Structure 1
Amino acid sequence: MGAIRGFITRNSLPEYYLQQASIWFDPIVETLIGHHYSAGRTLVVGINGCQGSGKTTLADYLCTCLQAKGLRSIAISIDDFYLTRQQRQQLATDVHPLFSTRGVPGTHDLELALETLQQLSQDNGDVKVPKFNKAQDDRLPKTEWPHVETPLDIIILEGWCVGITAEAEEVLLEPVNELESLRDPQGKWRNYINQQLVTNYPELWQLIDRLIMLQAPSFSCVYQWRLEQEQKLTQEVALKEEALKDDTSKNNHIMPAEEIRQFIQHYERLTRHALKYLPQNCQHLFQLTHKRQVVAYQAPNPLPGDPRFGQRDVTLKGL
């Protein structure tokens, strides 16, 4: 119980989160444990959800519960594999200026991601795990990466684009928002992203044994959810500065509200794409309200050996 209390504290969550988690997420913990022992190897679990949907919190909860049950587990964000700011600036120069902004496929170091997951799955002793500092918009130096003892039983990889596949080429012809209309009128940026999903990202996605999706009601929720994320990040930075007696705000890249509105347009196309097709292609689907509360669970694409979750379709009213 102490581990769960620590989870609530470090995520600044209300007590009722545990009530929801026990209903919806605890059964997933049990099925992940069963699948790990059945597979007899490290299990890689993906979590997809649009920005601010709660995927990082869910990853932490699952990891906390798994560790409490004796399984060696880690929760990693695909964000930690972003290219450095310098590398993205080079990509922006070589391909398209929009690649200076982190987030979309093409802005991750996939070689580093694949190498890290492989090392975490093997008995390599001490492994360093990359860490990205969003407040500074850059990867931390390797000397500051956390150390993890391997091999692990379960690796949880979460991110807004985890599991997303490419769109049909004809869909790319028309812009989906003002950003694409004004800054990518010829479609070079979005076509490059799509090509990355065709050629490079499948190798990473194929490592995922089970995919969980937190399905937002629509893309319209993303702005408010992302705004709340940034406000939380601002508070965390302020507390850190106060504790260290160090004003590092001049090095931070925390975004005001209007910048967030522009920022999320980078992700709109693929977020809408994911909301359409991923629900039929994941093993565990949680449907959310605009307040990020789970109201339904389905297992639309169960794996062999999952009789408990294969046909389950539950809706809870009133949450």
Structure 2
Amino acid sequence: MDDEQKARTALPAVLTQYMKAEALPESLADDFLKWYAGVTHHLATWANERETPPLVGISGCQGSGKSTLVQLMAHVLCEVHDVSVAVLSLDDFYLPKAARLAMGKTVHPLFATRGVPGTHDLALLSGTIDGLRSSRGTVSLPTFDKARDERTEIGHWRQVGAPAQLILLEGWCMGVPPQRGAELLAPVNRTEEEADADLIWRTEVNRQLSGDYADLFAALDALLVLQAPDFDAVFEWRWQQEQRLSEQFQRRHPDSADPTMGRDEVADFVLHYQRLTEHALRTLPDRANFVWELEPDRSVKRLRLTGVAA
């Protein structure tokens, strides 16, 4: 029995155990077998053939399920394919609140809200990736508490072994190219119309995409995309995500006031992401190696192989 056959034999049991341990629906195991197992096997083969650990980007809008998918992929890669994987989330590299508030004062008030390019610590991310590729021992991975809108203390950062054989980096704007200047002129929603009438915010976001973010995305060895049907799905998905954050916070801090957002706050929050989310929906499919086209309920409509990494 070759390695691929062994993996196929072992995978169903590994998925069943993971679904139970993480309290995930059994249907996700079926979806993984149908839509994601082949790509995961390709990544395992690729990682074993490369001397330098590949850096694979996974892009998807808020609430698309990318974090769940990446964690499941990493588990399968480890347990079934014996590949050591480091999982990074762009969200964990948001600047601390104080730094974003400072940007809000010196650049534009909208930069106080996390999310858009310019609100991440790319130097920390780059150093972390370098450590995962070249260090011997352990590497500290930062985490970000979305309920508190703040980076966690260093003592709570995750410790992972290095070097990794494969690095998975997921984020809502992974791989997104800058827009043309003319595309910035018309506001896409009331947030831009009312709070960015002078175009300072979106022009700076676009400048960031043309600079350090472009360098980061150029360093990706492959790009996988979870493609939402449209921006209308994003709000519902993000609201579902916020409800889960609220439940988690209340379980962990039963005596504290819940700092998570209400439905109206989430509706306003996602407007900060609309421009680049819609730009990503238009541009990323032609830039990615694998694209899963999603239905409004997050089920996969089809998988597009636009180019296989080698």
TM-score (norm 1): 0.90
Counterpart residue number, 1:206 = 218
Counterpart residue number, 1:261 = 267
Counterpart residue number, 1:191 = 203
Give matches, 1:270-289, under 5 Å: 270-289=276-295
Give matches, 1:1-319, under 5 Å: 4-5=15-16, 7-9=18-20, 11-68=22-79, 69-242=81-254, 247-249=255-257, 253-304=259-310
Rounded Cα–Cα distance in structure 2 between residues aligned with 1:184 and 1:39: 46
Rounded Cα–Cα distance in structure 1 between residues aligned with 2:152 and 2:209: 26
Shift of 1:241: 2.3
Shift of 1:2: 6.8
Rounded Cα–Cα distance in structure 1 between residues aligned with 2:262 and 2:156: 28
Contact preservation (8 Å) 1:128, 1:145: yes
What amino acid maps onto 1:31 in structure 2?
A: H
What amino acid maps onto 2:183 in structure 1?
A: V
Shift of 1:207: 2.4
Q: Deviations over 1:72-115 (max 9, x none)?
A: 11222100000000000000000000011000000000000000
Shift of 1:206: 2.2
Rounded Cα–Cα distance in structure 1 between residues aligned with 2:208 and 2:247: 35
What amino acid maps onto 1:281 in structure 2?
A: R
What amino acid maps onto 2:104 in structure 1?
A: A
What amino acid maps onto 1:123 in structure 2?
A: S
Contact preservation (8 Å) 1:280, 1:301: no
Q: 1:167 to 1:36 in 2, by over 3 A?
A: same
Contact preservation (8 Å) 2:47, 2:83: no
Please state whether the residue corresponding to 2:245 is helix, strand or coil: helix
Please state whether the residue corresponding to 2:253 is helix, strand or coil: helix
Contact preservation (8 Å) 1:176, 1:268: yes
**Is the deviation greater in 293-302 or in 272-281?**
293-302
Q: 1:263 to 1:15 in 2, by over 3 A?
A: same
Counterpart residue number, 2:8 = none
Contact preservation (8 Å) 1:11, 1:57: no
Counterpart residue number, 1:315 = none
Rounded Cα–Cα distance in structure 2 between residues aligned with 1:291 and 1:277: 22
Shift of 1:144: 1.1
Contact preservation (8 Å) 1:49, 1:214: yes
Rounded Cα–Cα distance in structure 1 between residues aligned with 2:288 and 2:160: 28
Report percent identity of matched pairs. 36
Rounded Cα–Cα distance in structure 1 between residues aligned with 2:245 and 2:14: 23
Counterpart residue number, 1:312 = none
Please state whether the residue corresponding to 1:290 is helix, strand or coil: coil
Shift of 1:10: 5.6
Shift of 1:237: 1.1
Computed over aligned residues only, the root mean square deviation of the Cα atoms, in angstroms, reads 1.4
Rounded Cα–Cα distance in structure 2 between residues aligned with 1:121 and 1:108: 21
